[in-house]
Structures are given as structure tokens and as C-alpha cells.
Chains A and B, each alone.
Chain A
Amino acid sequence: MTPLSPVEWAVVALSLKVSGVAIALVLPVSFGLAWLLERTRIPGKVVLDALVHLPLVLPPVVTGWLLLLAFGANGPAGRFLHDAFGITLMFRWTGAALAAAVMALPLMVRAIRLSLEGVDRRLEVVARTLGAGPWRTFFSVTLPLAMPGVLAAMVLGFARSIGEFGATITFVSNVPGETRTLPLAIYTALQVPGSEAAVTRLALISVALSLAALVASEWLTRRGKNGGRRHVL
């Protein structure tokens, strides 16, 4: 099989950039939401939980359309970003990153929530009696114990972002070099007769990336179980 062409390499690089930015964007948000859902007693938690999970069950094209309504040129969020910061998301890779972030959000919130649930809260109590305030307790006990789960969530979210298609193509279209990520490039190649080799190459890269992410995520989860062993006596 022939190696990747420069254009195909650019597609892979763009996909990695879009997903990397998406995860960086969505990680603090997911952690905050996971914390709210797992550790606090706020009213309307059921509704918040449902909203967080919406991108998981909605047709991605609907999520993309909703993003278009909110962040498009005439959408309230889109207009605000443009007027206040000069940022446009439409037809730009940043918009693709936002779509990927939204689609990765439910998966990441779920995974981080599970890892927080696994933290033995009695250890936080110990830290308090030893002189640590709530913040120090969080950074020295809760976060390190939840860390393998948080990393696994990041890897999982990253893999989801790499594969994102429906919301992206609806929201920011299929612009070569700007929003044409791996799945969009495969879709585009499929429309052109005689490009089976290109499709195969890109698809193989997709499979490799996804497999690597799943293995990494599984490995991190297992490691977390051993490291965070509750057995102390």
C-alpha cells in the first residue's frame, strides 16, 4: 500500500489538533459537572444530568443544528464571541473543536463521575483531621486518587472527538484544510470513484487511533483500581 499523501497527513494533523483543543476545552467543564452531579446537593440535578447526556442520545445532526443556532453568525453566543473577542466559529477548525467537545462531554462526565465515586471519602476526612483545609484535601487526596479515572476519561473523550462526524459537518461544513477531519475526509473520498486506496489508508488510521485510545483507557482504569486500593489494614 502507498504511504499517506501530504494532504492526508494534513488531515490527520488537523484531526489531532481539533481533538486536542476539544479535550482541553471540555476537561475542566466535565470535571466541574461531574463534581456537581456526584458531590453536591443542588436542586434540578436530574435535569442537569439529562442535559449533560443529551449529546449522547440526540442525532448528531440535531446537535450540530443546535450549535448552528447558538454559535452561528446570527446566534446569540456566536454574535457575542464575534463582538467581544473577534472569534468566529463558522467554517473554522475552532468550530469543529467545539462540536467535538460537545459530543465528548457526556462520555467524559460519566467517566470522571465514576472515578470521583471511587474515591474513598474517609481518606478526605483523615486529611482534614491532619490539618488540611478543603482545597488542600482536594488537591492532595481527592484529585490524585481520581487521576487515573480522569486520564482515562480524557483518552476516551479524545477518541470520541477523533471520530466525530455528524455534528461537525452540520455545524461547520466540510472545508478542506479547515474542518475536514479524518471522518469527513473518508466520507469525501467515498464520494469520488476510484479512491478506495485513500479510503483504506484513512480508515486504517482511524482504527489504529481508536484501538490505541481504548487500550490506553482500559490500562489507566485498571491501574487506578490497583493504586487506589482501599485496603490499608
Chain B
Amino acid sequence: MSFDIDIAIHRGGKRIAARIESASRVVALFGPSGAGKTSILQMIAGLLPPESGHIVISGEVLFDSTAGIDVPPEKRACGYVFQDGRLFPHRRVRENLLYGWKLAPPERRWMALDVAVGFLGIAHLLDRMPGTLSGGEAQRVAIGRALLSGPRFLLMDEPLSSLDAARRHEIMLLIERIRDEMEIPILYVSHDRSEVERLAGTVIDVG
């Protein structure tokens, strides 16, 4: 079982809940903006404490309210890809890529820098500052940074939504290759039905 998640929280008087039990490589959370999809990812990443429930990913318990387990975010090994890239503006692309890699224990690093750089086609960007990158380039680097941190699962929060159509297609192909070539469960959030149907084995409706 890749994902065994059952969590709930109240935010702004609204109940946000998710129940995900799936062995699919890619599980999609689908729903309109404001439905709480990002809150669900934040709970799974350990950035927002659920009021109740449990989060088990690939057999590892990350949160369990009855057992009092709450693994801090830096120990959860989630590769979080944000909608807006969020590269560190004060570090070059190479340093952005290696930020999580350096922090991961050696046995958890399943990808090397040159492999990731080749896979994402970003060799020519390594010495650039993030402020000089285009949207598609920045998102590639952000995906690389997440993969290099030695994650046990990926959380992708609308990674295509701030890109133009051509870039969107390129990044979509990359995500499909990650799904097909790498042994890593992915939780993918989107409000776009076609994206979700193309990528995911399981689709969970939110909101």
C-alpha cells in the first residue's frame, strides 16, 4: 500500500478531510480552488498538524493521533514540489539542487546530481541565479531539488498551473517519466481533470 491516509482539520469554520487508501503509484487529489487540497498536502508534509487521524506512506507511520506519533517535517523525507517553484533566491541553481541532498543521510540518496541534471536537462542552468530562470526552467530545478533530497514520496501541488501550454507539456512528460521510471509514490494535486486522468491511477475528489 503506497498511501494509507485518513486526516481531518478545521480551517476557517470549514472541515477539510481526506481519506486515501491506494496502492497506485500516482494518487491525484482533484477539486476546485479553495477546497483544501493544499492543506491536505501540508498535513502530509508535517507543516500543519491534523486534528485527528493517521498518515502512513509505504508502511511508514508519519502521523498517528491515537499513538501520539508526529514526525517533524524535516524527518518525513517528502519531496514537495510547489506550485510556484520556490527556489532559494540567494543560492545558485547547483546549490538549490544540493540543499536537500547534503542534508539527506547517504543511504537515502537514491539519485546523484549528474543523473538528475541529465534527466531534467538543466546542465546549462547550474551556475545561474534563480531570479534569471524562466518559469519552466525554475520548475525543472524545483523538481530536481525535491528528487535529490532522497524523498520516500513526492507531493506535487499544481506544479503545472503557473506555466504556459508548451512548458506545461514538457513538465508533464517529465512527471510521467518519474512515475514510470522511478520507484516513488506520488501524491498529485490539481484542479485540471485532464491532467489528473492522464497521470493518476487513483483519483480522490476533494471538496
A-B contacts counted at CB < 8 A amount to 75
Q: Tell yes or no: A40 within 8 A of B by CB.
A: no
At the interface, yes or no: B135 with Cβ under 8 Å from chain A?
Answer: yes
Kindly list chain B residues whose C-beta atoms are within 8 Å of the C-beta of A129. Answer: 45, 47, 73-74, 76, 78-80, 149
A135 → chain B closest CB, angstroms:
11
CB nearest neighbor in B for A140: B99
Asked whether A126 lies within 8 Å of B103 as measured between CB atoms, the reply is: no
- CB-based contact B162/A132 at 8 Å: no
A131–B89 CB distance below 8 A: no
> Is B145 at the interface (CB under 8 A from chain A)?
yes
A132 proximity list for chain B (CB < 8 A): 74, 99, 103
Q: For residue A72, give the distance in angstroms from its CB to the closest CB of chain B.
A: 46
Which B residue sits closest to A126, measured CB to CB? B86
Q: How far is the CA of A145 from the CA of B130 in the complex (A)?
A: 14
Q: Is B131 an interface residue (CB 8 A)?
A: yes
State whether B74 touches A230 (Cβ < 8 A).
no
Which A residues lie within 8 Å of B2 (CB)? Answer: none
Q: Which of A129, A140, A145 has the most CB of B within 10 A?
A: A129
Confirm or deny: A144 has a beta carbon within 8 angstroms of a beta carbon on chain B: yes
Q: Is A229's beta carbon under 8 Å from chain B? A: yes
CA distance A130 to B104 in the complex (A): 8
Q: Which residues of A contact B131 (CB under 8 A)?
A: 229, 231-232
> Which residue of the partner chain A has the closest CB to B87?
A232
Q: Is the CB of A233 within 8 A of B162?
A: yes
**1/0 contact string of A206-233 vs chain B (CB within 8 Å):** 0000000000000000000001111111
Q: What is the bound-complex CA distance between A111 and B80, given in angstroms?
A: 33
Whole-angstrom distance between the Cβ of A13 and the nearest chain B Cβ: 36
Dominant SS among interface residues on chain A = helix
Taking CB atoms, residues of chain A closer than 8 Å to B104 are: 131
Residues in B with CB closer than 8 Å to A232 are 84-87, 89, 130-131, 133, 138
B88 touches A131 (CB 8 A): no
User: Given the complex, which residues of A lie within 8 Å of B87, measured CB to CB?
Assistant: 232
A233→B85 contact, CB < 8 A: yes
Is A82's beta carbon under 8 Å from chain B?
no
Query: Does A59 belong to the interface (CB within 8 Å)?
Result: no
Q: Which of A122, A145, A233 contacts B90 (CB under 8 A)?
A: A145
Looking at the assembled complex, report how far the CB atom of B135 sits from the nearest CB atom of chain A, in whole angstroms: 4
Structural contact, A122 and B86, CB atoms closer than 8 A: yes
- Cβ proximity bits A130-154 to B, threshold 8 Å, 1 near / 0 not: 1111001000110011000000000
B residues 44-90 in Cβ contact with A at 8 Å: 45-47, 72-80, 82, 84-90
> How far does the Cβ of A182 sit from chain B's closest Cβ, in whole Å?
37
Contact check, A128 vs B135: say whether CB atoms are below 8 A apart.
Answer: no
Q: Which residues of B contact A122 (CB under 8 A)?
A: 82, 86
Given pairs A122-B86, A232-B85, A233-B139, 4 additional interface contacts (CB within 8 A): A123-B88, A130-B145, A131-B149, A133-B74
19 contacts between A and B (CB under 8 A): A126-B80, A128-B46, A128-B74, A129-B76, A129-B79, A129-B80, A129-B149, A130-B74, A131-B74, A131-B77, A131-B104, A132-B74, A132-B99, A132-B103, A144-B90, A231-B89, A232-B87, A232-B133, A233-B162
The 10 A-B residue pairs whose C-beta atoms are closest, nearest first, are A130-B100, A131-B103, A129-B80, A128-B73, A233-B135, A232-B85, A233-B85, A232-B87, A130-B149, A126-B86
